[in-house]
Amino acid sequence: MSEKIEPTYYIQHHLQNLTWGQVPAGTERCDGQVLESSQWILAACSQELEAMGFWSFHVDSLLWAGLLGGVFILVFWLMARKAHSGTPSGMLNFVETLVEFVDTQVKDTFHGRSSLVAPLALTIFVWVFLMNLVKLIPVDFVPYVVMETTPLEYFKIVPTVDANITLSMSFSVLALMIAFTIKAKGVGGFISELTLQPFSADNIFFKIILIPVNLVLELAAMLAKPVSLGLRLFGNMFAGEFVFILAAALLVGWQAVVSVPWAIFHILVISLQAFIFMMLTVVYLSLATEEH
């Protein structure tokens, strides 16, 4: 790290996840060696990254997402085992406050009877918050430590700066929305919701004509929800991360002047985005169960 680094390279490098994937035979590796058969490797430079197809994994995102989710589950599970109806204290108090907060929000928004929605909302809220929170660790800190101590070339610690992570969560929510719709209205209800509205006619002939129009509109609306849900979180986090990276790359010696106020401001963004993700999930699930 002692040699002078080009800002462009630095930025690109910081935006690259540690990727584990399969490269086909004939790929030229970073050291110029050409592979004779396809292999699963951890990419160490851009040409290896480009050779990887869809079946590759962002190891760092998944590792940190799992780690932070694990922290959430572990802490809350330990507290749940200690939960009692007496006077709570310390961490239990904090956990109960969060649970009650989420429970109130869910009860205000979701009027169905599902017991899944509230724990789902809690998981999303705390997990997304924790995944956002690691962004407050200075951008270079963990990558520097990792690259100095291991042969790894890339390392990003904020899972929500990876669109794969946020979209994966939002599409999981879409799957739940579909499941909730089918559970509440049946398969027929689900299909009629996709095909018989928003345009409807009394005449059966016109009704049939309107089906493709409705289908296109409803499918677009249905897909827009998870896409916007996932991209909103990703966009906010990515933009924030980008400012940190720019500050680190361009304002050598003056990083703190930009980074510290930005980080303080980001405490707000982090909690707000986690809350928005949770609330929209609950609202979408509520829409999925209710008649409209």
Partner 1 sequence: MTMNATLFGQAIWFAIFVWFCWKFVWPPIITALEERKQKIAEGLSSADRAERDLELAQEKASKNLREAKEKAAEIIEQAKKRSDAIVEEARDKARTEGDRLVARAHDEIEQEMNRAREELRQEVSKLALKGASMVLEREVDEKAHEQMLKQLATEL
Instruction: Name the site residues for partner 1 (rule: CB under 8 A).
Output: 17, 19, 21, 49, 52-58, 61-62, 65-66, 69, 72-73, 76-77, 79-81, 83-86, 95-96, 99-100, 103, 115-116, 118-120, 122-124, 127, 159, 162-165, 167-169, 171-172
CB of 233 to partner 1, least distance (A): 12
Active-site residue, selected from the candidate residues 132, 236, 259, 286 = 236
Task: Give the separation between CA 122 and CA 159, rounded to whole angstroms.
Answer: 18
Nearer to partner 1 (CB atom), residue 168 or residue 195: 168
Is-cis flag, bond preceding 198, omega within 30?
yes
Nearer to partner 1 (CB atom), residue 2 or residue 85: 85
CB of 38 to partner 1, least distance (A): 15
CB of 264 to partner 1, least distance (A): 27
Q: What is the dihedral of CA 257, 261, 266, 271, to 10 degrees?
A: 150
Nearer to partner 1 (CB atom), residue 65 or residue 210: 65
* Cross-strand pairs, 58: 19
Task: Give the separation between CA 177 and CA 120, rounded to whole angstroms.
Answer: 12
134 phi and psi angles, rounded to 5 deg: -65, -10
CB of 114 to partner 1, least distance (A): 10
Q: 228 catalytic, yes or no?
A: yes
Residue 72 to residues 67, 108, 124, 156, 262, Cα–Cα distance (Å): 9, 24, 10, 20, 26
Task: Give the separation between CA 137 and CA 135, rounded to whole angstroms.
Answer: 5
Task: Give the separation between CA 67 and CA 73, rounded to whole angstroms.
Answer: 10
Active-site residue, selected from the candidate residues 228, 259, 271, 286 = 228
Q: 214 catalytic, yes or no?
A: no
Nearer to partner 1 (CB atom), residue 115 or residue 203: 115
Task: Give the separation between CA 250 and CA 6, rounded to whole angstroms.
Answer: 10
SS3 23: strand
Q: Which strand ranges, in their side-by-side order, compose the sheet holding 39-42?
A: 39-42, 19-23, 56-58
CB of 197 to partner 1, least distance (A): 29
Active-site residue, selected from the candidate residues 232, 259, 271, 286 = 232
List b or e across 12-27, with b for residues whose CB sees 16 or more CB atoms inside 10 angstroms. ebbebbbbbbebeeeb
CB of 108 to partner 1, least distance (A): 16
Q: 81 catalytic, yes or no?
A: no
Which residues are within 8 A (CB) of 173 and not within 5 positions of it... i.e. 6 or more apart? 226, 229, 281, 284, 285
Nearer to partner 1 (CB atom), residue 19 or residue 289: 19
Nearer to partner 1 (CB atom), residue 246 or residue 263: 246
Which residues are within 8 A (CB) of 191 and not within 5 positions of it... i.e. 6 or more apart? none
Residues acting as catalytic residues? 228, 232, 236
